[in-house]
Amino acid sequence: MAELRIKDSTAPPQPSGNRRIPYKWIALSVTTIGALMAAIDSTIVILALPEMMVKLHANLIEMIWVIMAYILVSTVFLLTFGRVADMLGRVRMYNLDFVIFTIGSLLCGLSHSAMQLIVFRLVQGAGAAMMMVNSIAILTEAFPPNERGRALGINSITWSFGGVFGPILGGFILDTADWRWIFFINVPIGIIGAAWGYRALREMSKRQGDEKFNPFDAAVFSFGLTALLVAMTIGIEYRWISWPILSLFGSAAAMLTGFFLWEKHARNPVLDQSLFKNRIYNFSVISALMQALALFAVNFLIVFYLQGVRGYDPLKAALLLIPMPIVNSVVAPLGGWIADHIGARVPATFGLLLQAVALG
């Protein structure tokens, strides 16, 4: 049985029932379920926006907030949940994510107004924040450095598969059933993920007993980032130089500046600012931000274009959305393999340039 044991030192001891399966693959299976649920949810919700707007008697701004509420919470609380996970355990937080996300999905499906839907999307966003901040950490802990590119590439296939399957499933649901089922579909997936994560995942990182969480620092950062995102969103509806917008921008600048200055001298900082001394880390974050801005803008508007301007039914619009995720599912593992062998700089740079040309 010696050849069947885990060979990398990063994995924890195997429970008696899982001796034949290295823990790293078990961890990958759990994070894959979470990625699948999140990927399906994102594509299905965008596809259903036109029908939800009609059925809920909502306007375009409210539909923007159906998307923004999810993104706002999942963005604002990433740092906070990441810090809490460092203290309480990443696996514990990841398992809690499935529960919160599943409850949020159920409540979204039961919504009877645009405002209710927006509020319950906030709950979904909280679960998504826990998922995003902990899934990659669990994988990087479970896999040795020379296999992490492949692991992340395999995990990204799930996102691509969800990007393919989500629109098709969403188009089928919208053609045959009520829009509420685009949220109800998450419930069985979430239950399976929660049960499997609770059964299979094990904590690997050791928590420091003297670490403390400062809720005031986290609140200042969260309110500052919220003010910034809200100002950038409602600036569409109001004048950019109006007092409400300028006040929000000013509040965001003051709170975020104060947060970063205070964190420099904090004993247990929420954000380790030494990360920003790493040039590769800084440029990676900036590149990811710019890529997300470009791709999300297209994905949001093209759904309204296909259904509202071109007059396509949801299923046909869905089929027109799947070429990109299909190619992603083929290229992602290849990109991970290349990164493992020559580093991430060349494939990442080439990929971003290719995306820029394609968007143009």
Whether residue 11 has pLDDT greater than 50: no
Whether residue 206 has pLDDT greater than 70: no
209-230 pLDDT, tens digit per residue, is 556 666 777 788 888 888 887 8
270-314 pLDDT, tens digit per residue, is 677 777 788 888 888 888 888 878 877 777 678 778 877 888 877
Alpha carbons 279 and 290: distance in angstroms, whole number: 17
Segments making up each domain of the chain, as ranges: 19-204+281-359, 214-269
CA angle 223, 253, 250 (to 5 degrees): 95
Average pLDDT over residues 98-108: 91
pLDDT, residue 323, reads 80
Instruction: Classify domain 19-204+281-359 by CATH number.
Output: 1.20.1250.20
pLDDT, residue 4, reads 33
**Nearest to 48, CA basis, from 164, 136, 169:** 169
Whether residue 117 has pLDDT greater than 90: yes
Of 11-15, 123-127, 136-140, 282-286, the one with minimum mean pLDDT is 11-15
pLDDT, residue 24, reads 82
- Residue of 6 and 134 predicted with greater confidence: 134
Concatenating the DSSP letter of every residue in 260-293 gives HHHHTT-SS-SS-GGGGG-HHHHHHHHHHHHHHH
Look-up: residue for tokens 């996102």? 159
Average pLDDT over residues 158-182: 79
Alpha carbons 260 and 359: distance in angstroms, whole number: 35
> How much is the pTM?
0.67
The answer to whether residues 97 and 81 touch, using CB atoms and an 8 Å cutoff, is: no
- pLDDT range class, residue 15, cuts 50, 70, 90: very low
